């Protein structure tokens, strides 16, 4: 634990750690949702969409790494049990039960929108109180914003292809 690092935080550290752990649980669920989606995907443009899903999976895992590092730095205990990912995560896990590309894109777009809200909230809560976590949340938020747009743009391409293909 970083003693001085903890002292300079101008808010309740336990509350902050709870928020960091919730985001951490979400990242693992997002990782698995993307990773599995990339394996089971079916339908038009599946190869290009699968490549993006796999890239995002790895980026979500990198977010989990950033969060666990901060949790440990502040003397917290990261979520120890995978079964707690479900109960702690503010964003739900959407199983890729229907492997159709448009369904997977819609599920992951919803996931990104939830992630954007999570990091926006973490930034609001830490602003002027914990600059390190604020900066971390900004780094992750920047990537979640990119993820949302990547998927929405793929969805737009897919919709165009499907509608033009009818004519
Ligand atoms: Fe993420
Ligand atoms: Fe993301
Ligand atoms: Mg991307």
Q: Which residues lie closer than 8 Å to 158 by C-beta, 6 or more apart?
A: 44, 45, 49, 101, 102, 105
Nearest ligand for residue 63 CA? 1
Centroid of chain to Cα 47: 22
Give me the pLDDT at residue 17, please: 98
Looking at the domain assignment, is residue 2 inside a domain?
no
Centre of ligand 2 from the C-alpha of residue 81, in Å: 22
Determine the distance separating the centroid of ligand 1 and the alpha carbon of 164, expressed in angstroms: 34
Gap from CA of 144 to ligand 2 centroid (Å): 4
Output the pLDDT for position 86.
97
Ligand in nearest proximity to the CA of 152: 3
Cβ atoms < 10 Å from Cβ of 134: 17
Q: Is there a domain that residue 22 lies in?
A: yes
Q: Is 49 exposed, middle or buried (0-12, 13-18, 19+ CB in 10 A)?
A: buried
Residue 50 within a domain: yes
Residue 1 lies in a domain: no
Q: What CATH number should be reported for the domain holding residue 77?
A: 1.20.1260.10
Ligand 2 centroid to Cα of residue 151, in Å, is: 10
Within a domain: residue 96?
yes
CA distance 80 to 97: 27
User: What is the pLDDT at residue 163?
Assistant: 87
Structure tokens at 165: 């293909």
- DSSP letter at 69? H
Number of structural domains the chain divides into = 1
Residue 148 lies inside a defined structural domain of this protein: yes
Q: In angstroms, rounded to a whole number, what is the distance separating the alpha carbons of residues 155 and 167? A: 19
Q: State the chain's maximal CA–CA distance in angstroms.
A: 66
Distance 107 CA to ligand 2 centre (A): 12
Number of Cβ within a 10 Å radius of residue 23: 27
Please tell me the predicted confidence (pLDDT) of residue 166.
62
| Residues spanned by the domain of 39 | 11-162
Report the chain (167 residues): mean pLDDT per 10 consecutive residues: 92 98 98 98 97 98 98 97 98 98 98 98 98 98 98 96 77
Tell me the C-alpha to C-alpha distance, in Å, between residue 95 and each of 73, 80, 121, 156: 33, 22, 25, 22
């Amino acid at each position: 634990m970083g003693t001085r690092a903890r002292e300079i935080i101008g808010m309740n550290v336990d509350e902050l750690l709870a928020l960091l752990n919730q985001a951490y649980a979400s990242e693992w669920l997002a990782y698995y949702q993307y990773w599995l989606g990339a394996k089971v995907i079916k339908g038009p443009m599946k190869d290009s969409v699968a490549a993006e899903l796999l890239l995002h999976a790895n980026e979500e895992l990198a977010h989990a790494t950033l969060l666990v590092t901060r949790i440990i730095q502040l003397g917290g205990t990261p979520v120890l049990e995978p079964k707690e990912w479900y109960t702690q995560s503010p964003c739900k896990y959407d199983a890729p039960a229907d492997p159709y590309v448009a369904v997977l894109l819609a599920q992951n777009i919803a996931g990104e929108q939830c992630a954007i809200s999570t990091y926006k909230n973490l930034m609001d809560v830490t602003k002027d109180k914990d600059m390190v976590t604020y900066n971390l949340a900004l780094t992750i938020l920047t990537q979640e914003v990119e993820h949302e747009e990547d998927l929405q743009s793929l969805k737009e391409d897919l919709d165009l292809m499907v509608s033009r293909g009818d004519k």
